[in-house]
Structure 1
Amino acid sequence: MPSIIGNLCPNCFSREYYNGECTVCGYQEKFSIRSQRALPEGTLLDKRFVVGKVLGEGGFGITYKAYDTAADKICAIKEYFPSGVAFRGENHIQSIVESEEKRDFYQAKLERFLEEAQILNQLGNIPSVVNITKCFKENDTAYFTMEFLDGANLKQIVKASKNRLPASEITNVILQAALAMDIIHKKAHILHRDLSPENIYITKDRQVKIIDFGSAKQYSSGGEQEYSIVLKLKFAPPEQFSDKMKQGTYTDVYALASTYYYALTGITLPTAMDRLGGANYVPLKQMNISINERISDTVDRALKLNCRERIQTMQELAEGIMSPGKRIIPVPPPVSVKSMPYIEVERGTEKGKRWFLPVNTELKLGRGRAECNILIQGHPEISKIHCIILYEASKGNFYIRDMSRNGTFINGVRLVKGKTYQLKNESRVCLATAACVIRVGVKHESG
C-alpha cells in the first residue's frame, strides 16, 4: 500500500526522511519493529492525523506517535484493536471482527474504550493527567488523540538508574501523583484501579503524568456497585481480587504505596493474596535507604490488607510522606540515564572494536559482508551468518541464537544450533574458536 506520509519521518515528522532514514533525528526504518497488527506508517486518520511509529501495544489497543496536520504538532493516537478478536482488512487499515461469536465481546470492549476517552476528557483540566484532544470512530473501530508525552515511566527510570535515585526525588514523584489522584477522587469521583510504576510518567520538562485510565471507574460513596476484576498482581489490594468486595479511594492508596515501595527499593511486594497467606515484606525503616520512621509507618498503614485499617485518602498519604516544611519541587528529567547495549570484540584480530546495537532488533553477526549487520573479520572459521543477537530493552536482556557450522560457545559449552539462549550483561561468547571472543554489555550514559 502506498504511504501518504511522503518524506515525513515517522518519528520526528521532519521532511528530511529519505530511503528509510531521517537526517534530523537519526530514525532508521530497518531498525524499527512494527507489529503486523499495527496500522501502516503514513495512514491518514480523520483526514488530519498522520500515523507514525508504534509507541506501545497491548491486548486491547495500539498507541502510535502521530502528526496532527491541522494543529501542526506531534500527538499520540490510541486505537481500539483487540488481539485475537479483530484483524485487518485487505487495505491493512479496516478493523474486522474475526467471527460473529466474538462480535458482542468486541462491542462491549469498544464501549469500554470509549468510556476511557470520556474519563480522560472529564479530567482534562487536571495538569497531572494526560490531556485528550479528540475521540472519533473510523475503520469500524475507535480512536482518541492525546498530548504526546516525551519522557519515561517510573519503572523505566528505576531500572535505568539501578536503584540509585535519591529517596527524596522518588518521594517527590509519588507526592505529585498522590495530590493529582486526590483531585481525581474528590472532584471526579473516579478510581484509577491500575496505578503502578508503568502508569506514572515523567516528562522531559519534569512533569508527572498519570496515564492509562483503561480500568478506571466512577464510584459513589453510597449504594452497592459491581467492579470487574482488573489488576496488576504486585500492586493491587485484596479487594481487587474479587468482584464482590467494595472498592474506594483506599484501593488506589494501596496501589500507589506499593509503587512507592518498589521505586525506593527496586523490590515488588508479595501479592495481596500471598500476604494474606502469610508472606511479608521488609519495612522501609529497616532498609538503608534514607527513609525515616514516620514515612515508613505511613507506607505500612497504606499497605494494610484490611481496607478499614488502611489510609483512606490520597491527601492523608501525601501528608504522611511529605517532610515538614518541605514543598513539592519539579522532578529531575527522566532521561538522565541512557542505556546503550553493545557488542565488543574481547579477543581476536579486531580486539577492542565495539558496535552499539539498536534495541528490540535481531542482528546477524558473522563474516558475510552482504548478509550481516555486524561484520567480524580475520577469522575464516566463523560462518557467513554465525549467530543472531538481540537486546530486549523492556527486560534488559540479550538473546543469542547459533546459526553456524563450527559452533558458538558460552563457558565452554556449545549452544544447540537454532535454539535461543538468554545472555546476562557482560557475558562472553566464543565464536567457533577460542581465538575470537565477543562480550555483550550495556553502557549507561548521563544525558
Structure 2
Amino acid sequence: MDTNPAALCPGCFQSKGRATPCPHCGFDEAAPRPVQALPLRTLLHDQFMVGRVLGKPGGFGITYLAWDQLLEATVAIKEYLPRELVVRAQDSRTLHPHSTDENDLFRYGLEQFLAEARTLAKLDHPNIVRVRQFFEANGTAYLVMDYYQGCSLAEHLETQPNSRMNESKALALMQPILDGLRTVHAKGFLHRDIKPQNIYLAETDFGSVRPILLDFGTARQAIGERSRSLSVIISPGYAPFEQYHRKGQQAAATDIYSSAAVLYRMVTGVVPPEATERMAGDELLPATEFGVSPQASAVLALALAMKMDARPESVAAFQQMLQPSVARAEDMPPAVPSSSKVRPEVRHPSGGASLLPGEKQRQGASPSLFEQRYQDHGDGTLTDLSTGLQWMRCSLGQKWTGTTCAGSAVKMTWDAIMPNGQQKTWPEFAGYSDWRVPTIDELKTLVYCSSGQPDYWKVTNSACKGHYVRPTIHLEAFPNTPSICFWSASPPTNYSYGAWPVSFNDGYVNLGNKSNGSAVRLVRGGQ
C-alpha cells in the first residue's frame, strides 16, 4: 500500500493516487466541507493526518476520521471546539476565543474535556469507546479513539420499517450498552447524554454488530452549567426532568431514564415527550399501544418515572427487570398509537458526562424505595418492613430463578385455593410450610402507585390515579407480575358467590366471582 499522504484518500485512507473522486469510497475532496473543520491532511501531534468529518459537527466538538502514520491505521479524533466561544485563526488551525469572558469559559471547558479523556482512558469495556491517547494542540485538545465501521443507532433506526425495531432485537441490543453503563457507574461517573446518536453499531469481523456507547461530553455539561442557558446540554425526550435544573441532583437514575427513553424510541418509533411537557401534563403513551409486550412496557414506564426515586435503583436492577421481557418478546406487527401526539427523532450536539458522588457518599445516600420497603432474603422471598409480612416474590405457577420469576402465573378459582372457605396446606418453600393466601387488607399493601396518587403505597380500595406503571406493584420486589387480579382469602359477609381480589392492572379492589380464575401470591406471618 502506498502510504504517501498525497496518495491516500482522506475519506477512507486507501491509496487512490490522483483519482478523484476516490474509486474505493467515492469521497470527493472538492466537495464542500464544514467551515469549522480542520483542512484535509492537517497533521496533528506529528502523527495523525486529518481526513473527512465523521457525522455532523456538534456544538461542542467535531470528530474526524484520521490516519495514524506510526501504526498505519485509521482512528477517530475528537476536537474540542465549542463554536459559540471560539473561532479559527487565519492559519485555519488555531482556535481563538471571541472575548476574555469566553476565554475563561473555554478554558474551563477545556479542563473538563481533558478530564473526560482521562476518565475514558480508565474504562475498559467492549461496549464503551476506547481512548488511545489525548493531547493539546492548536489552542485546544484532541481525543484519539478507535475507529469503527458501522453507523449510529439513530441512523439505523431511520432505515427500519416505521422507524422502529423488533422488540426482542431491541432488548438484546440494549443489554450490552447497559453492561457498559454499569462499568461507567462502577468507576464513579455518569454519562448524562445517552441517546441514539451516542450509541454506535460497530460491524465486527464475524458479520455481527457490537453496540458501543460514545461521547461522554463532560465539557458540554460543564459549560452549560456555567452559561446562562441550560438548553445547550439538554437532549429533549431523552433528558429527565432533573437535568433541566442548573445544579439539579443527578445520579444513576438519570442515565437509567435516558437509557429507557432510547429503548422506548427503539421499540415504538417515537421519542418520549420532553420531560418539562410531561411535568405539566404527562402524555407519555404506554409502549403497549405500539404493540410492545406488557412486561417490557411496564418496565419502561417505571424507568421513565418523573421522580428519580421511583425508577430502578441501579442499572443492574433495570437489566434484571428487562430479562423476562427479553425471554418473552416475539416479533409483533407495529400497532397504531391511539394518539397522534408523538415526537419525531431529534438531533442535537453530543456531550454530557460528570462525576458521580464518591463511593462513600453513595453508601451514605438515602436508601432506595425498594430498600426502604422490603428486606430481600435471597431465597425468592422478602419481608415487608412496614407490615412484617413475608411474601413469595413469585406468583403461583412461576419459578424463582435466583434473579427473577420465570414462567406464567396460573389462574385458579377461589374455591380451589380456599376449599370450604378455609386455608389449605401449601408445599414447603424457602424452608417454611406455613404459607397461606393473604387477607384483602394484607394484599392491598402490595399495591404500588408509581404516580404517587393517591399515594405510592395505596391502602384504600380505589384505583391508582394519574400516570402510573402497570402492573401496580413494585416490579423490583415482585418481578414479572402480570397485570391481572389476585385473590385474597377474604369473602364478603353478604354475598356467598363472591370474594375480594386486587387488580394489579390499576390497584382497584372489587368484588369477584369465586368461579373466576385469578392469580395467587402467598404470604406468611401476621394474623
| TM above 0.5 | yes
Which of 223, 239, 253 is equivalent to 2:256?
A: 253
Please name the residue that 1:363 is paired with: none
Candidates 258, 264, 269, aligned match of 1:266 = 269
Q: Distance in 1 between matches of 2:53 and 2:238?
A: 27
Aligned residue in 1 for 2:84: 84
Secondary structure at the aligned position of 2:308 is classed as coil
Q: Which has the higher strand share?
A: 1
Aligned CA distance change for structure 1 residues 37 and 287 (closer, same or farther; 3 Å): closer
Distance 1:17 1:27, change over 3 A: farther
Q: Which has the larger radius of gyration?
A: 2
In 2, distance between residues paired with 1:234 and 1:324?
A: 23
Q: CA deviation at 1:118?
A: 1.6
1:171 is matched with which residue? Answer: 171
Alignment check: 8 A CA contact 1:152 1:203 kept = yes
Q: CA deviation at 1:296?
A: 1.3
Contact 1:175 1:318 in 2 (8 A): yes
3-state SS of paired residue (1:322):
helix
Letter in 1 for 2:261: S
Gaps of 5+ in 2: 329-345, 348-527
Instruction: Work out the CA distance in 2 between the residues paired with 1:217 and 1:62.
Output: 13
Cα distance, 1:271 vs structure 2: 1.1
Pick from 236, 239, 242: which aligns with 2:242?
239
Q: Distance in 2 between matches of 1:307 and 1:325?
A: 24
Residue aligned with 1:212, SS = coil
Mapped partners of 1:104, 1:164: distance in 2: 43
Aligned twin of 1:354: none
Judged with a 3 Å threshold, the aligned counterparts in structure 2 of structure 1 residues 25 and 227 are, in CA distance, closer, same or farther, namely closer
Q: Distance in 2 between matches of 1:12 and 1:241?
A: 40
Structure 1 position 33, deviation (Å): 3.3
Counterpart of 1:243 in structure 2: which amino acid?
R
TM value normalised by structure 2? 0.56
State how far apart, in whole Å, the 2-side matches of 1:140 and 1:165 are: 43
1-side partners of 2:283 and 2:264: how far apart?
13
Q: Secondary structure at the match of 1:263?
A: helix
Alpha-carbon distance in 2 for matches of 1:281, 1:71: 50
> Is 1:208 aligned with 2:207?
no
> Which residue pairs with 1:25 in the alignment?
25
- Equivalent residue number for residue 308 of structure 1: 309
Which amino acid is 1:320 matched to? M
Q: Contact 1:192–1:217 at 8 Å: present in 2 too?
A: no
Deviations 1:62-91 (A, max 9, x none): 110000011110001111222132222232
CA shift at 1:164, angstroms? 5.1
Question: Is 2:58 the counterpart of 1:61?
Answer: no
Counterpart AA for 2:121 = N
Question: Structure 2 CA distance, aligned partners of 1:303 and 1:324?
Answer: 17
- Is 1:99 the counterpart of 2:83 in the alignment? no
How far is the alpha carbon of 1:7 from its aligned partner?
Answer: 1.6
What does residue 513 of structure 2 align with? Answer: none
Alpha-carbon offset, residue 324 of structure 1: 7.3
Measured in 2, the distance between the counterparts of 1:156 and 1:73 equals: 25
Give the C-alpha shift of residue 21 in structure 1.
2.1
- Provide the C-alpha distance between the structure 2 equivalents of 1:136 and 1:319, rounded to a whole number of angstroms: 40
1:281 aligns with 2:284: yes
- SS of residue matched to 1:21: coil
Residue in 2 that maps onto 1:192: 191
Cα deviation 1:238-270 (Å, max 9, x = unaligned): 111113432111111111111111111111111
CA contact (8 A) 1:270 1:281 kept: yes
Tell me if structure 2 keeps the 8 A contact 1:175–1:322: no
Secondary structure in structure 2 of the residue aligned to 1:269: coil
Alignment-derived partner of residue 143 in structure 1: 142
Q: TM-score, normalising length from structure 1? A: 0.66
Counterpart Cα distance in 2 of 1:286 and 1:101: 50
| Paired residues of 2:77 and 2:144 also in contact (CA < 8 A) | yes
Q: 1:293 to 1:326 in 2, by over 3 A?
A: closer
CA RMSD of aligned residues (A): 2.5
8 Å contact kept, 1:270–1:280? yes
Relative to 1, partners in 2 of residues 1:325 and 1:178: Cα closer, same or farther, differing over 3 Å? closer
Q: 1:324 to 1:266 in 2, by over 3 A?
A: closer
Total equivalences in the alignment: 315
Deviates further, 18-27 or 139-148:
18-27
Q: 1:92 corresponds to which letter in structure 2?
A: S
- The whole-number CA distance in structure 2 between the counterparts of 1:275 and 1:99 is 39
Cα drift, residue 325 of structure 1: 8.5
* 1:378-411 per-position Cα deviation (integer Å, ceiling 9, x unaligned): xxxxxxxxxxxxxxxx99xxxxxxxxxxxxxxxx
Residue aligning to 2:299: 298
**Aligned-partner SS, 1:57:** coil
Name the structure 2 match of 1:152: 151
| Counterparts of residues 314-393 of structure 1 (less than 5 Å) | 314-323=315-324, 326=327
2:387 is aligned to none
* 8 Å CA contact 1:193, 1:231 repeated in 2: no
Instruction: Return the letter of the residue paired with 1:260.
Output: L
> Residues of 1 paired with 2:10 and 2:220: CA distance?
34
CA–CA separation in structure 2 for the residues paired with 1:247 and 1:102: 27
